[in-house]
Structure 1
Amino acid sequence: MKSVFTFVLVLATNILFSQNDFQGKATYMSKTTMDMSRFEGRSEQEKKQIMARMKNFLEKTYTLSFNKTESEFKENIKLDAPGGSSGRRWGASNGKGSIYKNLKEKEMIEDVEMFSKRFLVVEEMEQPKWELSTETKKIGQYTCYKATLVKVDTSVDFGSIFGRRGRGGAPKSDNKEEEKEPEVRTLAVTAWYTPQIPVSSGPDSYYGLPGLILELNTGKTTMLCTEIVLNPSEDLEIDKPKKGKKVNREEYNKIIKVKTDELKERFQGGNRGGGRRF
């Protein structure tokens, strides 16, 4: 039954994909919950102030522009009003720029700026091992189907910089035997996609389903599509990123780990010097 269900979905998607000029734009609202246990000992008033300052980081909107073979996912940045708080700079994108996907070439490029340097993180798009379900729900006017995935989480853990130890934390052990390899982190993902929109793409770096992903749940973050415009009157421009240092995901994570380790050491009262350079 499951294989028949999958075949029907793929067949329907392929028929819709035959439209040569198919394109569209989807807007997503993203919300992330934060573990407040790290602020134990703070008053309720202080916690509310922290949450208010973190709002720009925890609540964002994005736009996914797509056609049959390409897509571009970007955060919608709002500029501060004159005289407004500059706190927006911290929550603006957490290093995120845009994510370009090319289904035909099986290439994904994340255009990202971190520590004042621009990178193009290039990855080969392998088919994700989605588990398809017959469970459905409505998102707007679209019937969506549920799919789940468990993947290795290769993202950089920026939260470790400001861990609970804070300043004056325990010094790093000199015993190499005590230094263990970091544990492999996994991420449980739930996606809701609609075969009514024949695009095998979605928000962030996700793709590979027989229809556009309209809702995505990854860890503590939920992305929900709030608006879709199909075949707009003006052609969409989907640009492949070209400016920046080309690296693969492993190389990028190693570079960022070096810089975040330096930042963590300075934050905890260690080396206050200039640190290494790229």
Structure 2
Amino acid sequence: MKVILKNTLFLVLLLFNNIIYSQAESVTKVLYKQVPYAIPSDRGLAKEEKAGIVKENIARDKVECELTFTKSKSVFGLIEKPLLNKDFDYLREAILVSDKYYKDIVNQKKTRFEELGGENLNIILPFNQYNWEITTETKKINNYTCYKAICRWDDFNIRRNSTDVFSAEAWFTPEIPSSFGPMGLDGLPGLVLEANYGASGIHFYIVKIEFNVENSKVKFNPPAVKYITEEEHQKRLIKEYENMGRE
């Protein structure tokens, strides 16, 4: 049985590291890529199927995402690569992580920006979105000591009128006391360096961290477009599916 660390321990670590890591509004950038799809070792897998996975991994390796944050705000999104806009394999992988995620700690706001049906929308997310269980399991990532955290949550799917169960795993380091992470997977007492979204197949790993970035032109506030709730977003998705069925 895994022993669950007391949250107070991490609060102490967080406060201690905040003294060391005290560049008030300095900008930090984190580059993430995705772990390649595993190629099954089953000998019965057709040669063409294995070749297809290899092809997907080549495209997946071209997809890069960036988390940029200050002490109080963050934005996470896909790094645009216009020269690859005609590469179907790349676009198929990139669309999975194409939404932008914004977090504002001071005002306790968290949003996801996406394009739906030709309209740009800010989807309001719960600020404390995940109920994390922090374990004592550790490993080194880029020379940082990281702790494993896991969470599970239910999400009602209005289109199917059923509840889906999701899970995620994150490796975070209290050595960088910022509660941010890739694709909105955040809320831990340290920066998330690796994140696995379970059955979705989305699995980020850190490539590099750049501290004290100068002349950053990143916009930390969501675009000035319409805000909707997740429930409203689900209803819009149903409408989109219905419209696609009529075409």
**Smaller-chain TM-score bracket:** 0.7 to 0.9
Distance 2:18 2:11 in 1: 10
| Residue pair 1:31, 1:60 contacting (<8 A) in 2 also | no
2:5 equivalent in structure 1: 2
1:208 equivalent in structure 2: 187
1:275 equivalent in structure 2: none
| 1:51–1:121 distance in 2 versus 1, CA, 3 Å | farther
Pair 1:240-2:244 in alignment: no
Residue type at the aligned position of 1:120: N
Q: How many residue pairs end up in the alignment?
A: 237
Pair 1:11-2:23 in alignment: no
Percent sequence identity over matched residues?
27
1:100 equivalent in structure 2: 102
Distance 1:223 1:156 in 2: 28
Distance 1:111 1:221 in 2: 18
**Structure 1: gaps spanning 5 or more residues:** 37-41, 158-180, 266-270, 273-278
1:179-216 CA distance string (max 9 Å, x none): xx633111121111111112111100111111100000
Bigger radius of gyration among the two: 1
| Residue pair 1:150, 1:186 contacting (<8 A) in 2 also | yes
**Structure 2: gaps spanning 5 or more residues:** none
| Residue pair 2:10, 2:174 contacting (<8 A) in 1 also | no
State the SS of the aligned residue for 2:19: helix
- Which segment drifts farther, 2-11 or 220-229? 2-11
Pair 1:73-2:54 in alignment: no
1:45 equivalent in structure 2: 48
RMSD: 3.3
Q: How high is the TM-score relative to the length of structure 2?
A: 0.80
Match of 2:27 among 23, 28, 36: 23
2:172 equivalent in structure 1: 193
Match of 1:151 among 150, 153, 172: 153
Match of 1:259 among 203, 218, 240: 240
Distance 1:153 1:33 in 2: 26
State the SS of the aligned residue for 1:241: coil
Distance 2:222 2:110 in 1: 10
2:138 equivalent in structure 1: 136
Distance 1:114 1:153 in 2: 20
Match of 1:218 among 197, 205, 219: 197
Residue type at the aligned position of 2:79: N
Distance 1:107 1:22 in 2: 20
1:109 equivalent in structure 2: 111
| 1:105–1:13 distance in 2 versus 1, CA, 3 Å | farther
| Residue pair 1:146, 1:193 contacting (<8 A) in 2 also | yes
State the SS of the aligned residue for 1:138: strand
Pair 1:118-2:120 in alignment: yes
1:96-127 CA distance string (max 9 Å, x none): 33111111111112111123221111224026
| Residue pair 2:73, 2:220 contacting (<8 A) in 1 also | no
